[in-house]
Structure 1
Amino acid sequence: MNRKIKVSTPLLIFSIAFSGCGKQAVKTTPEVEKKTTITFIHMNDIHSHLSGSKTKLYFNGKKTYVTIGELNRAIAKIKELQKTSSNPVTLNAGDMIVGTLYYVLFRGNATADLLNLVNWDAATIGNHEFDDGDKGLKHFLDRINFPIVSANIIPKKGSILEYYWTPYRIIERNGEKIGIIGIGYAQKTKMSSNPGNDIEFLDEIETAKKYVKELSDLGVNKIVILSHFGMENDLKLAKEVPGVDVIIDGDSHSLLGNYTAYGIKSQFNKYPQIVKGADGQKVCVTSAWQYGYAVGKLKVDFDSKGNVIECNGVTTILLGDEFKRKVNGKKVKLKGSEKAEIEEIIANSNGKLEIVKPDPEAEKILNSYSEKVETLKRQVIGFAAEFLGHNRIPGDKKDGVSVLSKHGSEIAPIVAKAFYEKIKNADVAIQNAGGVRTAIDDGPITIGEVYKLLPFSNTLYVLKMKGSEIKQVLEDAISNFMDKGGSTGSFPYAYGIRYDVDLSKPCGKRISNLEIMDRKTKIWHPIDPNRYYIVVTNSYIAHGKDGYKTFGKVLKERGGIDTYFGYAETFIDYIKKLSAKGKELKKLPRDEMPVQNFTK
């Protein structure tokens, strides 16, 4: 039996009035329905992006360079919304840590210290919270001062994480009870992160049903799912779990609302998404993008039975107050009327964009960590047993020293191997030459050196592809510079596959003898053109950039998974694991080199 009863017509109050002639007149007036307004302030997928990012937006069609995000600004915005909103409830949908140098260097401490400045009502666990195992998560949870909810990720008795979170919380606003249930992405957390064997994972939808009923039995009729399950999954959950009112989403990094005028693509052009739930009532589903770029504000009106009457709101993208445009090829800071024009556009964006001054206390904390970054970049994380050269194309001396004419880059395939080791079910890892920038000298390897080697904000993408499509990806990469005037940075390196390259052949015929290594047996076999394989690559070429058009086609048609593992951070982890085993970084064995033979 559903906990809510939908009332389709208003109740009427009947009153009897007597006229002077003794006749009765019946008057009816509608009963005023009790309405409760709750404002949900929310963030998700911060991934330790504490500093702002440089990006470009469009104002009146003109490309403009701005700073977007910065957790200091998000904290300032949240505090302002908490003061000005009706019955605010502040929620964080997970993946708070992992993803930038701030995590690599400070293991979540910097992120925790900043998040502790916000009075969160609840946060849930993202899959990346387990990237450094149970101990890494415990370290972060010991540092924070706000409650965690997760109903389907359960530490077993005796786990070091036992009692660190609860399935749900019940809070009150204006005398009304609100239940907040945490839901994590079970399969993704098990497959792409590192939870211990002492962590049990339950089905997301069945668990949600269980705890919605439990809350309903306790008399709670306003129920929120605080989810790290992904937008598409949460839209399904909204349709299948009766009694849910609001879902605050994480994992898919979804931006909701129409931002096309500013050059930003959204997953959905409406904020929030409103779904007809399993009990016939409205369910409001929303998310607030990623990396501290934005803060969401969802205003929900409930009737006396806890049904959603209506919901609306906005994701506010946070901006700095400096704007630049290119003049004669150089970025020039805008002043006067040009800057004023942009500020007016932002002020009239209906809350979609806002210039936000950083929170002073948060700024002080971040500065204290930022000052340590340069010192910590010199931290040694491992050793290279020998010089590892880098050519884009075999023999091009891209690093100024190495010829490497037969097999090409020595370091790029090792970067690909780090991807392969990170994604436990990957059959193949592919990395473009241009995404690797330098050679590695023999001797100690520092964090700073890795960020020079891999300087971009790429993440690891996982795609499911036929063997024939993998071959075509390699052909695309070579055709990009051979036939289309593209950069030689598109030359493909890899791990788990090997091939011969002959640049004298016509387009589509340059890759031959393509073999793939069985992950378990390490035995090489000819690639099966009709079999599907799991491919991990970087986010740049996964979207078809640098000439990798087949990657882009597969991603568009069949989708892929952005793991949100940084490619530089993945390589750092790989080196650290080698070092922990007493091993040094060295060239791949001859039979594991991707380019077995090269003909110019």
Structure 2
Amino acid sequence: MKKTLMASLVALTLSGCASSQLDQPFSLTIAHINDTHAHFDASDVRLTFADNAVYTQAGGSARLLSYANQLSEQAKDQQHAFLFLHAGDAWQGTGYFKQHQGAMSADVLSRMHLDAMTLGEREFSLDNARLASFIEQVNFPVLAANLDTRQEPALSEQENLQPYVLYRFKGNKKQQVASVKEAGKYPVVAVFGLINQDLASQGANLGHLRVSDEISRAQSTVNALKEQGVNYIVALTHLGLEKDRELAQSVNGIDVIVGGHADALLGDFSDIGGTKNEPYAQSFTNPNGRGRTCVVQSGQRGQAMGKVTVTFTYDGRVSQCQGNNTLLVDSRFYRDASHNEQQRLNDAQLEQVNQHIAHSSKVAIVEEDKSLQQYIAKQYRPSLLQAYGKTIGMVPNTLNHATQPVDGKSSQVAPLVAASQWYWANTPAVQSVTGRQVDFALVSAGTPQQNIEVGVLKTGQINMGLLPSTEALSLVSLSGRQVAGVILEAINSAIAKGADGSQFPYVAGLRYEFNETSPGRGYVNNLEYQQQGQWTRLKPNQQYQVALSGFHSQDTLFDAQQVLTDRLDLAYVNGKLAAFPVARLTKNAHGKIAPDYINQPLNCQDAQVSCEAAAVAFTEYVQQVHPTLTPVTETGISLNRL
């Protein structure tokens, strides 16, 4: 009896030396957001209750902060540990970012009391000096375990960019610690970051940064944390849902993956007029067959927040993982998208809406945090409203942008962008500069940067949010065979395993069928263009004039233009449209493709030059053709997947 007791005490002592975190069950609540894309203000949304449409606003930084504070208080009452995490892509997407770049993001996110953030591809859209400034200014750790900064001067000495962070919990009270030893007897949660190893192919400006394989780096990081005695491990990633699932099934020891890069808001929102997407919290078995990893993501544009509560067994394994995404809405509702006070719901109608919301776990009325709302309104909003300018159209229902037209999630935005470029290139004003009749337009899914929200549409929302790119819109002659090659290469790139879909080709004045023959591969069929109102098959050797946006790094286009091309890049110089003729394309030692101009090179960074022809095209298209902006009736795409 004494020997058994002594052995038990020795085992318990040894266990305590390794880690004291196993003394009692542990529960962790995580509030999380991702892909907020500089949506600091609330955005307009359309909801449906009992087949009746109503309009209100959702999200925004002040509302997210208010809800995060509510969840923190709930966790405190339940004696749960609590973390508030951002899974990347805080940059780009609104006029706020175009005006202030990373500075406003650093300011506002720091006021939201985040515990950690990882980096998405949008954080690499400027240059490493400005990314370094953002990381230095925020008051929370920025995490990226698979990012090697040693050869990048702008980031090599940045102390706030870390592989992981450790938080000690005394009940609900947390404190950042340097080691498990510093935590004493209290539980420690590690959060480590992972960024996409394919950032370079997504157009990220990496400089001398190097990104390593996500899976191998994740496993080595987990192993190192386990050796320190950490038993609760969260991966904060910006890889996309498919890669998160692969990570969960390929790495031992991750308890929760909080991800980003999501197009859809996970969960079933069909009862409020949304879509039924995949379940929010899914659990996957690790390769050792013993551990399990819970995977969650929230949506985009800061309209919703995810909340997951993870309960652990005595030996540190996940026993329960539960939660959901919640759309955070204002208390004011209207009968139409104008949000005119005359269209505001009366008391009886409002009561019905409130009853529906009270019985739904997917939507909540949340008032904005007054302090943050007032700060944004005073410090930043006046200059943005001035820059947004005049109203050019009305959007009756939000037009959603998704990269690939599969599973009923085709982009409603990219076909409109393609239609605008086809229309604009053939207007007399543009033809007087180019001297060309354009047969059709090709636009990559990565060209539009966001949805087009319900409500009024203003000029600045186009050039500062939807189409902020500084890449020129091009006109180029391609043979029918080359057009087919461009489309095929783009689709194969977009549907490859782990791809973000940004290369997917949307069209106007053209239609095609793609048939997948094996996973991620296939062929293009029935390639036709609209000739004098009739659909006509493209001839392999005939030349066609194409408006092109977003494919300039493609091998097929490089092969077609490296010797001789008639390409024109369109930009505005001192407010006047100008064409910049290209002689050929060249490729540097790093594989980057660039045009050699015949005369004056096009420099989109020049203060007198504007490369926003795509935004101008869309603006004029809305004003002159489509002032009530609704989806095109036919996208021209038939995609047959296995």
Task: Look up the SS of the partner of 1:325 in the other structure.
Answer: coil
State the alpha-carbon separation in 2 of the partners of residues 515 and 524 from structure 1.
Answer: 18
Shift of 1:158: 5.9
With over 3 angstroms needed to count, the CA separation of the structure-2 counterparts of 1:185 and 1:328, relative to structure 1, is closer
Tell whether the 8 Å contact from 1:36 to 1:301 is kept in structure 2 after alignment.
Answer: yes
Shift of 1:510: 7.6
Is the aligned partner of 1:288 residue 2:298?
A: yes
Task: Look up the SS of the partner of 1:206 in the other structure.
Answer: helix
With over 3 angstroms needed to count, the CA separation of the structure-2 counterparts of 1:245 and 1:112, relative to structure 1, is same
State the alpha-carbon separation in 1 of the partners of residues 364 and 134 from structure 2.
Answer: 31
Is the aligned partner of 1:41 residue 2:69?
A: no
> 1:508 aligns to what?
536
User: Which blocks of at least 5 consecutive residues in structure 1 are unaligned?
Assistant: 1-10, 12-31, 379-388, 424-428, 435-447, 481-498, 527-574, 589-600
With over 3 angstroms needed to count, the CA separation of the structure-2 counterparts of 1:508 and 1:307, relative to structure 1, is same
2:287 is matched by which residue type in structure 1? A
2:118 is matched by which residue type in structure 1? T
Shift of 1:245: 0.6
> 2:251 aligns to what?
241
1:234 is matched by which residue type in structure 2? D
State the alpha-carbon separation in 2 of the partners of residues 465 and 337 from structure 1.
Answer: 58
> 1:55 aligns to what?
45
Tell whether the 8 Å contact from 1:391 to 1:402 is kept in structure 2 after alignment.
Answer: no
Tell whether the 8 Å contact from 2:604 to 2:610 is kept in structure 1 after alignment.
Answer: yes
Is the aligned partner of 1:518 residue 2:514?
A: no
Mapping 1:58-77, distance limit 5 Å: 58-77=48-67
> 1:274 aligns to what?
283
Mean Cα deviation higher: 469-478 or 361-370: 469-478
With over 3 angstroms needed to count, the CA separation of the structure-2 counterparts of 1:225 and 1:264, relative to structure 1, is same
> 1:370 aligns to what?
381
State the alpha-carbon separation in 2 of the partners of residues 475 and 254 from structure 1.
Answer: 20
> 1:184 aligns to what?
195
Shift of 1:329: 13
Shift of 1:467: 3.8
> 1:305 aligns to what?
315
With over 3 angstroms needed to count, the CA separation of the structure-2 counterparts of 1:323 and 1:186, relative to structure 1, is same
Shift of 1:93: 0.8
State the alpha-carbon separation in 1 of the partners of residues 95 and 487 from structure 2.
Answer: 34
Tell whether the 8 Å contact from 1:223 to 1:245 is kept in structure 2 after alignment.
Answer: yes
Cα-to-partner distance string for 1:49-69 (whole Å, 9 max, x where unaligned): 111221212111222222122
With over 3 angstroms needed to count, the CA separation of the structure-2 counterparts of 1:577 and 1:49, relative to structure 1, is farther
State the alpha-carbon separation in 1 of the partners of residues 71 and 252 from structure 2.
Answer: 30
State the alpha-carbon separation in 2 of the partners of residues 333 and 315 from structure 1.
Answer: 27
Tell whether the 8 Å contact from 1:390 to 1:402 is kept in structure 2 after alignment.
Answer: no
TM-score (norm 2): 0.61
Which of residues 567, 578, 590 in structure 1 aligns to 2:604?
578
With over 3 angstroms needed to count, the CA separation of the structure-2 counterparts of 1:124 and 1:455, relative to structure 1, is closer
With over 3 angstroms needed to count, the CA separation of the structure-2 counterparts of 1:364 and 1:273, relative to structure 1, is same
> 1:152 aligns to what?
146
Shift of 1:334: 1.0
> 2:124 aligns to what?
130
RMSD, aligned α-carbons: 4.4
Tell whether the 8 Å contact from 1:393 to 1:408 is kept in structure 2 after alignment.
Answer: no
Which of residues 251, 254, 257 in structure 1 aligns to 2:267?
257
With over 3 angstroms needed to count, the CA separation of the structure-2 counterparts of 1:220 and 1:353, relative to structure 1, is same
Tell whether the 8 Å contact from 2:146 to 2:213 is kept in structure 1 after alignment.
Answer: yes
With over 3 angstroms needed to count, the CA separation of the structure-2 counterparts of 1:587 and 1:114, relative to structure 1, is closer
> 2:240 aligns to what?
230
Tell whether the 8 Å contact from 1:256 to 1:315 is kept in structure 2 after alignment.
Answer: yes
Tell whether the 8 Å contact from 1:41 to 1:91 is kept in structure 2 after alignment.
Answer: yes
1:221 is matched by which residue type in structure 2? N
1:346 is matched by which residue type in structure 2? I
> 1:552 aligns to what?
none
> 1:336 aligns to what?
347
Task: Look up the SS of the partner of 1:304 in the other structure.
Answer: coil
Shift of 1:578: 2.1
> 1:315 aligns to what?
325
With over 3 angstroms needed to count, the CA separation of the structure-2 counterparts of 1:195 and 1:64, relative to structure 1, is same
Tell whether the 8 Å contact from 2:33 to 2:304 is kept in structure 1 after alignment.
Answer: yes
> 1:359 aligns to what?
369
Is the aligned partner of 1:207 residue 2:217?
A: yes
Shift of 1:146: 0.8
With over 3 angstroms needed to count, the CA separation of the structure-2 counterparts of 1:519 and 1:190, relative to structure 1, is closer
Which of residues 103, 111, 122 in structure 1 aligns to 2:105?
111
State the alpha-carbon separation in 1 of the partners of residues 271 and 448 from structure 2.
Answer: 35
Tell whether the 8 Å contact from 1:390 to 1:408 is kept in structure 2 after alignment.
Answer: no
Cα-to-partner distance string for 1:61-117 (whole Å, 9 max, x where unaligned): 222222122111001111111122121111111111112110000112222222112
Which of residues 392, 402, 421 in structure 1 aligns to 2:423?
392
With over 3 angstroms needed to count, the CA separation of the structure-2 counterparts of 1:355 and 1:458, relative to structure 1, is farther
State the alpha-carbon separation in 2 of the partners of residues 334 and 156 from structure 1.
Answer: 58
Shift of 1:451: 4.8
Cα-to-partner distance string for 1:14-57 (whole Å, 9 max, x where unaligned): xxxxxxxxxxxxxxxxxx99421111111111110111221212
Tell whether the 8 Å contact from 2:426 to 2:438 is kept in structure 1 after alignment.
Answer: no
Shift of 1:391: 8.0
> 2:163 aligns to what?
167
Tell whether the 8 Å contact from 1:283 to 1:308 is kept in structure 2 after alignment.
Answer: yes
With over 3 angstroms needed to count, the CA separation of the structure-2 counterparts of 1:167 and 1:519, relative to structure 1, is same
Cα-to-partner distance string for 1:321-371 (whole Å, 9 max, x where unaligned): 222225999982211111111111111112x10111111111122102001
State the alpha-carbon separation in 2 of the partners of residues 177 and 59 from structure 1.
Answer: 44
Task: Look up the SS of the partner of 1:51 in the other structure.
Answer: coil
Number of aligned pairs? 447
State the alpha-carbon separation in 2 of the partners of residues 266 and 374 from structure 1.
Answer: 35
Tell whether the 8 Å contact from 1:500 to 1:513 is kept in structure 2 after alignment.
Answer: no
State the alpha-carbon separation in 1 of the partners of residues 262 and 282 from structure 2.
Answer: 15
1:513 is matched by which residue type in structure 2? Q
Tell whether the 8 Å contact from 1:395 to 1:406 is kept in structure 2 after alignment.
Answer: no
> 1:441 aligns to what?
none
State the alpha-carbon separation in 2 of the partners of residues 291 and 576 from structure 1.
Answer: 33
